[in-house]
Structure 1
């Protein structure tokens, strides 16, 4: 079986959900077109999505084109829900990036395209809404080349743009202008093609150029541009043909061991978890017992596959397909299913972590327990909301990408869980980075170590964006595997709150020392904890060692920065620049465009909302402001701190007292 898994990506309101609906209609999966405005689209199934007219959760639909099963994943366009896009990128064979013919290239468009280029994901571009008043596909094509990538080529022409009668006509292979543009684009990446052209231009047929275009598109070297309208259907047939012609179709790989990745989790009617899994290799069958996550085994009790717009039960699912698997227990997003997935799958982060957070407050104190349970279930669907429970202050904090996400969480809690909540003021999430390298060690039986474990750790900074790595600098057989696992898991958990309470990013932690006391027992055979190491000893000691290593290395606090772009009338520039300065926005470039100006620069994430609120009153409401996260920068002045939510290992005395109470309580429970 041949398969193709594609994602539909776009800036919000570019029309990607409407395009998804039109594609399903054009291939015969649905008889009637749904409407985003009316809340009747197939992929926007949540009540909130239908009410608000935006996609919040990624959704899958399937259809067949030329014998190829196409799994289409509709993703959110609003930047507040970029985590949904994050989770599907590693699962895709190709992408359709949708751009509005009216608004053109927008902030999210650029952020998405940068990521697609970095991942070398084959990408087709669809200029939508050519029938809308103000549509200018030629201008948008120029903007694509100038602001996204010069490696774009239009596959057709639009006639009657900006009118309901707009139509799209594919360029024929005999069109000399189209042939010239293809040659200029394709020869930049293909010396053999250039040689053919130099030796005898007449040998280069339109068919030959189409083959090279397909090959270079599959390598993500060039990006064919289609145009049309999801509402009228203009140009959609050409896009459908381009999916299987230009994107890499996967052949059946069902013979190897099962290998897949969980990219979405939802709850069934009885509360059981249902995992959305992309299979990269092998075949999964009902009643198969498979490794899931970190070595846990689970039995598959049910399989549903996507088929022509709906899901159907099946006994097996093969490589290349997307399936709903039941029976995987406490499965989480990102868990591997079966053998380790292919290189690149479930890889590193593609977008920044959330830069905002807020405390969620139940309107009724009696709902606090229900609130925690509800947020824990929401975190299964979106792990990046990062629910943090502070037992000392009796507070629950969630991470956010923006204010719209906060509104959606509030509505979801009320409508699906019956919990009414409010929020405290949204605050910025800072991060910590290592300044240098540091090491610490505590040995068994050597004061002041009170635990039956020896742990040595060395921390070192790594390149920005590289993430966390844990390495063993000791022999793997020097301790039971469970003890190494306890150390690594505790290191990961401790790094979520560095010396000043912020997550420590981009570092490598090496375990340099390891030691334990083997299991001991009394003469009558009972286990003697006082003489035997347990995983608990390693979990309790590791935070103390890691914090000391961090102290010796040193950390600095950094704040998130956004790159902004502001387009405004020329006569408003003098009034806007002082306002930007007062809001800590620093222009890097100011360009004149006819009677208007485009200002680009950096602004702290904590000030973005203030800029958005202030600007509409300045350029007569005609300013267009866009921003997206760009980088972190060191904080000037006294670094902000965040209260810890765990037993604070930076205060050794209080930490040991808290751990002793915890251990005593657990023994009492037994």
Structure 2
């Protein structure tokens, strides 16, 4: 029978486990329905899960259908256990995303959607709890289309309305609909498989409504992958059974697996080869042993001790690094008299099961440290350690897990040449897109460095967690490219390139402008309306970004984002000041530039020059002996030429992080100076290339731009926005002046509400002899660039100058421009996101005007009544 691995995902409390029960019951796999609140759900196999009523560990169940056998994989819904959920995604053929009809798209729902997109998983949607009062099918569909995908289609419809919506998802489907009035089943299946169509089913899992329709849809439209004859498998989970046997959960992606098969993995010197002792097919807490399993099977095997989640076996490659990671670090406090080494050896078992724990032994402090997603996970982990190992542990205060990146490209050089050793490596370090992690590549010619040595360098780049130079935090969001290297015919060994590679990364970081990144939460805060002012004040004080409040009867909803460091513990405060009526939900947004970088760097006190485990200096041979050369002196001693283009002799030195296209400054720019002076009065400027008298020239000292508490600047690329917004683009096609005027009016309203300094920039560089101009339109500044100067160049210069002392945001959809402004410390706003901001402001202003009108009418009526009373 054809087999499919289908995962069930949802935001917490959406009814995911209840849906799993309903699916198993309607398929005949269960004789009686269990319930989460009755603590007898089939897939809540752990007693902690049953007590708390949440899914903590992913589980599987076999669901037999007429034409398919589904392996149903139930995943945790709570954000604290997202890493367990993400590990399961790598083996799914399809997913069922459960949506609550009472609250369709929450923050974690969007995180799940992004992950499903990243892993390219075809998805069915089940909108649950439609039996509850206040649910609105059309409103739910509107939310799904607007916040997830326009290709979400209501499959509970029938006839022309269904096929018309399906036809809009693909050209072939549209052709079929126009020819025959419907779309072939195979074409619908193809659209779903390619994630061009997302079928939506409505119902109530608790009342078994809509379950048969969902099962029928999966049977009709889901298709099994084509598996090859060569063996392959993907490991997605490590666990232990009640007897302590180590279980490796995997999905077979090709060929067949038999008991006693010899499997191998890893790379030298950590390569391994072990036999499979037993193959188990789990369904809930029970399993059936089998001698052989074919492609498509999800099973657990015993006998393997060296596997890890994400490993590929046979022809299957390893999985990419996970997107989600822990953001809080804790110190483990052991009971008095407990040997820390013995405790650490036990806790390593937990890291095998959840690699995101990152359990490490700090030999210098003689302490155990680990990383977690949140406080709920901390409570669960404490109990697991107690029950499994008999250790009553506590945790120290949580600290933030920071990351570091760079603002502009830089070359890193590593040279390792003690006596009878030799290797030199040149790397190009470039900033990557937020959330992209680390990427490695080579553009080095094999005539310069043999391919085998190049492969070794890339291996060394991948094998180590490279630390930044601000706080010693891991680096991320960078592309590191091998550009050149050199080996010696007789004296080069593999370890030489390891040393040269590590030192090249570090040397490049020392010479770069580093940016500290911190984790941010997307939050939803529900609370009574009378506490909205208090909450907004709190969140703004926390450096949060808050959207205008939405009213829900007597309650209000605040959404936005804020640093994790600031939101820690705020849920308890909300509960206290709302007397238990408020609720704060947080979901990890990702890493963004740290809001208080200077303060964090100073508090951590990391000295990059004293980190002997991560040296930036190189080793050169001099007079028959190896000598250490400081990192900033290495370029003068390197044996290969620099991979970066040298500066022209007549080009003045540029400040680090400034694009080569920047040639002036606001000091010489009368228009920009005028805006400054109108806002703050005369502004004194210092020479950006001159060191202050009290600032030592030593390269060991690193300065961090101070935090900005002054008003925010918003720079808007005028024509870019006009042609990115549909309504302005339509106006511009008839009358460009009218489009400019309309944008200026919108920004005037926006400025009045947000109270920021708005600079709207229009290109005028093609106008011969144009000197440029700056004018004031109501409450905003409007700039027309001078001849031969583009709006991009003006904004680049402005962000560099203003960003040194103020918070700056730039609204544009220009990709290269966005990268440049990030390097200058500004925040980017894509045109689509800025459009949403402006629309929200317009709506809020309209609401305020409406309330004022009602208030004025009320006053007028009251005055008329009082006059009438007096006349009597």
Q: TM-score, normalised by structure 2?
A: 0.64
Distance 2:298 2:215 in 1: 20
1:627 aligns with 2:586: yes
Q: Is the 8 A contact 1:359 1:398 kept in 2?
A: yes
> Aligned runs of 1:477-492 on 2, under 5 Å?
485=456, 488-489=459-460, 492=463
Distance 1:277 1:103 in 2: 34
1:565 counterpart SS class: strand
Distance 2:164 2:451 in 1: 61
Q: Which residue of 1 aligns with 2:181?
A: 204
Q: Is the 8 A contact 2:232 2:315 kept in 1?
A: yes
Q: Which residue of 2 aligns with 1:504?
A: 475
Post-superposition shift, 1:348? 4.8
Q: Which residue of 1 aligns with 2:84?
A: 84
Q: Which residue of 1 aligns with 2:250?
A: 277
Q: Is the 8 A contact 2:518 2:593 kept in 1?
A: yes
**Relative to 1, partners in 2 of residues 1:394 and 1:456: Cα closer, same or farther, differing over 3 Å?**
same
Q: Which residue of 1 aligns with 2:159?
A: 179
Q: Is the 8 A contact 1:459 1:553 kept in 2?
A: no
2:464 counterpart SS class: helix
Residue-by-residue CA offset, 1:485-544 (whole Å, 9 max, x unaligned): 5873466424156552111002233443243675xxxxxxxxxxxxx7655555555433
1:105 counterpart SS class: coil
Long gaps (5+) in structure 2: 619-627, 629-872
1:553 counterpart SS class: coil
> Aligned runs of 1:146-295 on 2, under 5 Å?
146-156=146-156, 178-195=158-175, 203-205=180-182, 208=183, 212-251=187-226, 253-255=227-229, 257-267=230-240, 273-294=246-267
Residue-by-residue CA offset, 1:313-367 (whole Å, 9 max, x unaligned): 22322222112233333111111100134xxx72353x33222111111122424
**Relative to 1, partners in 2 of residues 1:593 and 1:234: Cα closer, same or farther, differing over 3 Å?**
closer
**Relative to 1, partners in 2 of residues 1:361 and 1:484: Cα closer, same or farther, differing over 3 Å?**
farther
Q: Which residue of 1 aligns with 2:377?
A: 405
**Relative to 1, partners in 2 of residues 1:266 and 1:516: Cα closer, same or farther, differing over 3 Å?**
farther
| Match of residue 371, structure 1, among 343, 346, 354 | 343
> Aligned runs of 1:333-372 on 2, under 5 Å?
333-341=309-317, 346-349=319-322, 351-372=323-344
Distance 1:320 1:40 in 2: 29
Q: Which residue of 1 aligns with 2:857?
A: none
Post-superposition shift, 1:275? 1.2
Q: Which residue of 2 aligns with 1:609?
A: 568
> Aligned runs of 1:438-457 on 2, under 5 Å?
438-443=410-415, 445=417, 449=418, 452-457=421-426
**RMSD (Å), alpha carbons:** 3.4
**Relative to 1, partners in 2 of residues 1:235 and 1:514: Cα closer, same or farther, differing over 3 Å?**
same
Distance 2:559 2:552 in 1: 13
1:640 counterpart SS class: helix
Q: Is the 8 A contact 1:354 1:429 kept in 2?
A: yes
Residue-by-residue CA offset, 1:353-387 (whole Å, 9 max, x unaligned): 22211111112242422321232111111111111
Residue-by-residue CA offset, 1:439-485 (whole Å, 9 max, x unaligned): 3445454xxx4783414141412333332233453649967969965
Which shifted more, 372-381 or 613-622? 613-622
**Relative to 1, partners in 2 of residues 1:221 and 1:620: Cα closer, same or farther, differing over 3 Å?**
farther
**Relative to 1, partners in 2 of residues 1:590 and 1:479: Cα closer, same or farther, differing over 3 Å?**
same
Q: Is the 8 A contact 1:14 1:128 kept in 2?
A: yes
Post-superposition shift, 1:82? 0.5
**Relative to 1, partners in 2 of residues 1:404 and 1:646: Cα closer, same or farther, differing over 3 Å?**
farther
Post-superposition shift, 1:87? 1.0
Post-superposition shift, 1:264? 0.5
Q: Is the 8 A contact 1:228 1:236 kept in 2?
A: yes
Distance 2:416 2:272 in 1: 34
Q: Is the 8 A contact 1:457 1:549 kept in 2?
A: no
1:626 counterpart SS class: strand
Which shifted more, 57-66 or 410-419? 57-66
Which shifted more, 509-518 or 643-652? 643-652
Q: TM-score, normalised by structure 1?
A: 0.81
- Looking at secondary structure, tell me which structure has more strand per residue: 1
Distance 1:556 1:94 in 2: 39
Distance 1:375 1:88 in 2: 22
Q: Which residue of 1 aligns with 2:96?
A: 96
Which shifted more, 55-64 or 537-546? 537-546
2:326 counterpart SS class: coil
| Match of residue 433, structure 2, among 447, 463, 467 | 463
Distance 1:231 1:367 in 2: 49
Q: Is the 8 A contact 1:3 1:68 kept in 2?
A: yes
Q: Which residue of 2 aligns with 1:332?
A: 308
| Relative contact order higher in (CA < 8 Å, ≥ 6 apart) | 1
Residue-by-residue CA offset, 1:198-229 (whole Å, 9 max, x unaligned): 56xxx425xx4655544322222222222333
Distance 2:283 2:446 in 1: 53
Q: Which residue of 1 aligns with 2:635?
A: none
Post-superposition shift, 1:139? 4.7
Post-superposition shift, 1:237? 1.9
Distance 1:444 1:647 in 2: 15
1:27 aligns with 2:27: yes
Q: Is the 8 A contact 1:583 1:611 kept in 2?
A: no
Q: Is the 8 A contact 1:305 1:317 kept in 2?
A: no
Q: Is the 8 A contact 2:60 2:282 kept in 1?
A: no
Q: Which residue of 1 aligns with 2:793?
A: none
1:503 counterpart SS class: coil
Which shifted more, 328-337 or 623-632? 623-632
1:397 counterpart SS class: strand
Q: Is the 8 A contact 2:310 2:320 kept in 1?
A: no
Which shifted more, 469-478 or 572-581? 469-478
2:42 counterpart SS class: coil
How many residue pairs get aligned? The number is: 608
Post-superposition shift, 1:30? 2.9
**Relative to 1, partners in 2 of residues 1:481 and 1:49: Cα closer, same or farther, differing over 3 Å?**
farther
Distance 1:595 1:568 in 2: 9
Distance 1:477 1:417 in 2: 55
Distance 1:193 1:412 in 2: 52
Residue-by-residue CA offset, 1:533-577 (whole Å, 9 max, x unaligned): 655555555433431122123422111222223344544433332
**Relative to 1, partners in 2 of residues 1:543 and 1:491: Cα closer, same or farther, differing over 3 Å?**
farther
1:366 counterpart SS class: coil
**Relative to 1, partners in 2 of residues 1:496 and 1:280: Cα closer, same or farther, differing over 3 Å?**
farther
Distance 2:569 2:548 in 1: 21
